[in-house]
Amino acid sequence: MTISKKSQITSTTMALAYVTALIAFCGITIGSTNAIEQPSIREEMSRLLGKCHLQSDDYDFCMKDVFNDLRAYFPTGIPEYNVKPFDPHHASFVELRRGDQNGLGFKLILRNVSEYGWTQSEVTKFHSDFEQNRIIYSQYFPEKSLNGWYEFSAKVFGTPIKRSGFWNMTLYDYSQTTSVRRLGGPGTLLKIHVEVDRIGGMRMHVGDVLAPGRARLDNVSDGVINSAWPLGLPFIKPIINELVSTAFTDIFNESFRYFPLHQFIS
Mean pLDDT (the chain, rounded): 82
Question: Which residue type is seen at 99?
Answer: G
The per-residue pLDDT for range 12-61, each reduced to its tens digit, is 444 433 433 333 344 433 343 344 455 688 888 888 888 999 889 999 99
The per-residue pLDDT for range 55-91, each reduced to its tens digit, is 899 999 999 999 999 999 999 999 998 999 989 888 9
Q: What is residue 190's predicted lDDT score, i.e. its pLDDT?
A: 92
Q: What is residue 62's predicted lDDT score, i.e. its pLDDT?
A: 94
What is the pLDDT averaged over residues 144-148? 93
Residue 185 has pLDDT above 90, yes or no: no
At 190 the three-state DSSP class reads strand
Q: Is the pTM of this model over 0.85?
A: no
Tell me the pLDDT band of 102, cut-offs 50, 70 and 90.
low
The per-residue pLDDT for range 241-266, each reduced to its tens digit, is 998 898 889 888 988 888 888 888 87
Q: For residue 264, how far is the Cα from the chain centroid?
A: 23
Q: How far apart are CA 236 and CA 229, in angstroms?
A: 9
**Burial letters 40-71, b for 16+ CB under 10 A, else e:** eeeebbeebbeebeeeeeebbebbbebbeebb
